[in-house]
Chain A
Amino acid sequence: MFNFLVFLSLLAVGFVFGRLNEAKHFRALLKRERELAHIIVTNTKHIPDGMRSCEFVSGNMVVSVDYFKRIIAGLRGLVGGRINSYTSLVERARREAVVRMKLEAAAQGMTHISNLRIETASVFQNAKTGIGSIEAYAYGTALK
């Protein structure tokens, strides 16, 4: 009975804080993406005319899923289908990584980023619980 109560409270805490956290992060992302919209990012190797110098830039973020989402995803694993909670998790990490990369470019006065690559990996998998975190890493060449 006690275990069940702990489980329920973890579920509730995960649901409330996870949701608030995510909404806050998405709002912040939108704002920062608008601020950095002047940097043109492409994933082609084309170098626009008039570029004089280049610099390697990158950004990353490790994100963890909350308890509620993990349980939902676990249930989803029984019947199969789309796991929306994880979709938004990976999206958050990727967008944040790109924003951080752009910030690095902006700090050096760069105007373009060419050959953007985004890599996602599950890192530091815990042997006992099998729970890992997701890392998104974005990198490219900033030009001006």
Chain B
Amino acid sequence: MRDIEITNLETIPGRTITQHLGMVQGNTVRAKHVGRDIMAGFKNIVGGELRGYTELLTESREESVKRMVEEAHALGANAILNVRFSTSSVSAGASELYVYGTAVVVS
């Protein structure tokens, strides 16, 4: 799965783009869970990093990227260029992680 190169540049150093395959994307909506919320409640008093949430968002982003890579695979691409992320709060307690880029064939 990881033979696809992902970059947010428009080129890959030392390679040339031979074919553009269009946009690929992936998204996940994740809600926090109660256990993590209790710890967060405490942190809301003393401040500081909410480690559980940091990890949760990292995992969710990895999942979005996985979906994007799967889509690129299906198109027969071997690289995704100009990758962008966006995060939005869709409802109370849930966030959406969205990733998109351009699938290409490089040689």
Contact = CB atoms under 8 A, between A and B. Distances in A.
Contacts of B6: 56
Interface of A: 10, 13-14, 17-18, 21-22, 25, 45, 47, 51-54, 56, 58, 60-67, 69-70, 89, 96, 114-115, 117, 119, 121-127, 131-133, 135, 137, 139-141, 143
| Chain B: number of interface residues, binned into ranges | 35 or more
Determine chain B's interface SS by DSSP, over half rule: mixed
Interface of B: 5-14, 31-32, 40, 43-51, 53-54, 57-58, 61, 83-89, 92-95
B85 A47 contact: no
Determine chain A's interface SS by DSSP, over half rule: mixed
Contacts of B89: 121-125, 132
B55 to A, nearest CB: 9
Contacts of B92: 125-127
A40 B92 CA distance: 39
Contacts of B85: 117, 119, 137, 139
A117 B86 CA distance: 11
B86 A22 contact: no
Contacts of A69: 47
4 closest cross-chain pairs (CB), A and B? A66-B47, A127-B92, A121-B87, A62-B53
